[in-house]
Amino acid sequence: MPVIATRGRPSALRQMIAKSGAPMYFVAGLSGIDPSTLSKYANRRLPIRHHHMLALCGVFDCEPEDLLDGDEE
């Protein structure tokens, strides 16, 4: 798996994507989220919209709060 450079601790979403082993574009396709938007979410450049949280939880079988970083709660 390629290593993606991040500053600090990776976001909860990025960790979830890495744990799944699926490429980000594949997760984007499954969730119906544009790949550039998903990248912004994973890199903490954009807050995750609620309907996108629900779509991602459909892919990862999680709860929306699982996608939030500890400092966002």
pTM over 0.85: no
What is the predicted pLDDT for the residue at 1? 46
Integer Cα distance of 29 and 13 in angstroms: 15
Instruction: Return averaged pLDDT per consecutive 10 residues of the chain, 73 residues in all.
Output: 63 95 96 97 94 97 91 52
- What's the CA dihedral at 69, 53, 39, 28 to 10 degrees? 140
pLDDT of residue 44: 92
Taken in order of first residue, the domains within the chain and their CATH numbers are 12-66 (1.10.260.40)
Q: CA-based angle 68:8:49, to the nearest 5?
A: 25
Distance CA 28, CA 19 (A): 15
